[in-house]
């Protein structure tokens, strides 16, 4: 016997219960982004590999070791499954000259791919909601992004999630800091781990981000970037903070919050929770004023953030989020050829009237069909036998406590069916039209 084929490690099926929760989340996300007047953009899952090398940087974890890259066997092109969305979004904005008439607020969502060691909260295919604001320079839009996040957490009823912010200043400020940082780390070279030693010259800022407990003390005492910021950078940072204070959003300045690349600047932020173990960063964002030029566009400021959907949904579940509205309103059972044809008309008619209807398919005795009706979670069974079909009527049987189960089965004419069902489901509230 041949073995069944399994999904790729770290690339998970999302089964109906979770997929329903995801749909509910998608609805919420759409309304949330509309409330801030962000517009959707949909981007390919595969991009030319050089895009990521240029946009993310060759000295990053992502480009060094996490990308699913391959050669298109038909034309020899170097391709990569997108590990994040910003690069593709900026590429599309440049390719279609979207900034010609002013700045743009955009969002996208979908799967991202990184070849990491799978564990709780870390997968090889995962999902992000990404938000990008292109062509905006001021601290106002940075603050808007943070306020947006806070609103989404509030909409989801999330409480244990805290904001950390920092400023990376500008390139010149960072290079003075970098020189002092490298000198400091070289002094302690014998205490660094292999990873840190490797990064000492390629990407020393990332050492500050290390998760190795043995390095915490050294890193804690390292020169802090914020001490190197000039007046303008400090004013931008102060501007963001003033707007956060106005909005009543608490935050902590974390001097070790960094991004290792030159085109990241000024504001960086992360939303972190302690409820998810070591994969606690739910959302990360900040400014990347240098990226558009890095990808060949006319220099324009920009900033954005990405939410890790698996982590956010795990937190939502942890805090009581549940998928609602899974069961149909009506389950239609029927027997005989005439009854089946009538059942199709009834089911379509009820859908026209706005009800969710599961039509029994596959035959079987009334008893077996009623078992299915009960298991579906439907509020009502609409029963159609040869009798009903001949009379253009349907027998309605309430299936749930509190929704008329105590009531008798009743026979209702086809043209009064929607009204009768509305009566039973909403106790007379007029929500659905007649058939």
Contacts with ligand ATP, residue ranges (CB under 6 A): 84, 114, 116, 121-123, 126, 128, 279, 281-284, 306, 308, 310-311
CA 145 to chain centre: 15
Query: Least distance in Å: CB of 7 to ligand ATP?
Result: 15
**57 Rama class: left (phi>0) / alpha (psi -120 to 50) / beta:** left
Query: Least distance in Å: CB of 250 to ligand ATP?
Result: 19
Pick the closer one to ligand ATP by CB: 258 or 384: 258
Pick the closer one to ligand ATP by CB: 56 or 346: 56
CA distance 207 to 193: 10
Secondary structure (3-state) at 140: helix
Query: Least distance in Å: CB of 282 to ligand ATP?
Result: 5
User: Cβ-closest residue to ligand ATP?
Assistant: 308
Query: Least distance in Å: CB of 387 to ligand ATP?
Result: 57
Pick the closer one to ligand ATP by CB: 164 or 388: 164
Q: Which residues of 185-220 are buried (b: 16+ CB within 10 A; e: fewer)?
A: beeeeeebeeebeebbeebbbbbbebeeeebeebbe
State how beta strands 380-384 and 330-334 pair: parallel
Beta strands in 42-191 (DSSP E): 46-48, 69-71, 78-81, 104-113, 125-134, 162-167
Q: Identify whether the C-beta of residue 292 lies closer than 8 Å to the C-beta of residue 109.
A: no
Q: Identify whether the C-beta of residue 316 lies closer than 8 Å to the C-beta of residue 156.
A: yes
CA distance 311 to 52: 24
Query: Least distance in Å: CB of 313 to ligand ATP?
Result: 11
Pick the closer one to ligand ATP by CB: 60 or 358: 60
Q: Identify whether the C-beta of residue 3 lies closer than 8 Å to the C-beta of residue 114.
A: no
List C-alpha distances in Å: 392 to 44, 389, 397, 417, 421.
Answer: 51, 5, 17, 11, 16
Query: Least distance in Å: CB of 117 to ligand ATP?
Result: 9
Pick the closer one to ligand ATP by CB: 112 or 384: 112
Query: Least distance in Å: CB of 124 to ligand ATP?
Result: 7
Residue 263: both structure tokens together? 């085109």
Q: At what angle do helices 337-352 and 417-426 cross, to 10 degrees?
A: 60
Secondary structure (3-state) at 253: strand
Pick the closer one to ligand ATP by CB: 126 or 228: 126
Pick the closer one to ligand ATP by CB: 265 or 335: 265
Query: Least distance in Å: CB of 406 to ligand ATP?
Result: 48
Residue 321: both structure tokens together? 């989020």
Pick the closer one to ligand ATP by CB: 158 or 425: 158
């Amino acid at each position: 016997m041949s073995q069944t084929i399994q999904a790729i490690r770290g690339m998970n099926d999302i089964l109906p219960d979770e997929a329903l929760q995801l749909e509910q989340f998608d609805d919420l996300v759409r309304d949330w982004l509309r409330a801030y007047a962000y517009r959707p953009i949909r981007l390919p899952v595969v991009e030319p590999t050089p895009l990521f090398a240029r946009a993310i940087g060759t000295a990053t974890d992502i480009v060094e070791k996490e990308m699913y890259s391959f050669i298109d066997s038909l034309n020899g092109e170097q391709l990569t499954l997108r590990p994040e969305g910003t690069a593709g979004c900026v590429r599309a904005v440049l390719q279609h000259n979207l900034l010609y008439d002013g700045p743009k607020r955009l969002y996208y969502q979908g799967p991202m791919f990184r070849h990491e060691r799978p564990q709780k909260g870390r997968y090889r295919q995962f999902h992000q909601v990404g938000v990008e604001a292109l062509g905006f320079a001021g601290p106002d839009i940075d603050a808007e992004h943070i306020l947006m996040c806070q609103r989404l957490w509030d909409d989801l009823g999330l409480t244990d999630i805290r904001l950390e912010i920092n400023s990376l200043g500008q390139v010149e400020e960072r290079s003075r800091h970098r020189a002092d940082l490298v000198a400091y780390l070289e002094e302690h070279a014998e205490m660094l781990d292999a990873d840190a030693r490797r990064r000492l010259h390629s990407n020393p800022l990332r050492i500050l981000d290390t998760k190795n407990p043995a390095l915490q003390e050294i890193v804690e005492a390292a020169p802090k970037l914020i001490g190197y910021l000039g007046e303008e950078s400090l004013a931008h940072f102060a501007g963001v903070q003033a707007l956060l204070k106005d909005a009543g959003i608490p935050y902590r300045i974390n001097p070790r919050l960094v991004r290792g690349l030159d085109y990241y600047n000024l504001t960086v932020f992360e939303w972190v929770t302690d409820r998810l173990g070591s994969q606690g960063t739910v959302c990360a964002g900040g400014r990347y004023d240098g990226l558009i030029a890095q990808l060949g566009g006319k220099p324009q400021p920009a900033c954005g953030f990405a939410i890790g959907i698996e982590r956010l949904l795990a937190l939502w579940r942890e805090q009581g989020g549940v998928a609602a509205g899974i069961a149909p309103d009506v389950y239609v059972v029927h027997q005989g050829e005439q009854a089946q044809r009538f059942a199709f008309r009834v089911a379509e008619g009820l859908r026209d009237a706005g009800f969710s209807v599961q039509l029994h398919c596959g035959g079987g005795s009334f008893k077996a069909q009623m078992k299915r009706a009960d298991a579906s979670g439907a509020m009502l069974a609409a029963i159609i036998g040869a009798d009903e079909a001949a009379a253009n009527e349907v027998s309605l049987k309430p299936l749930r406590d509190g929704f008329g189960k105590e009531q008798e089965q009743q026979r209702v004419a086809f043209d009064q069916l929607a009204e009768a069902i509305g009566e039973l489901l909403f106790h007379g509230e007029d929500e659905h039209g007649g058939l």
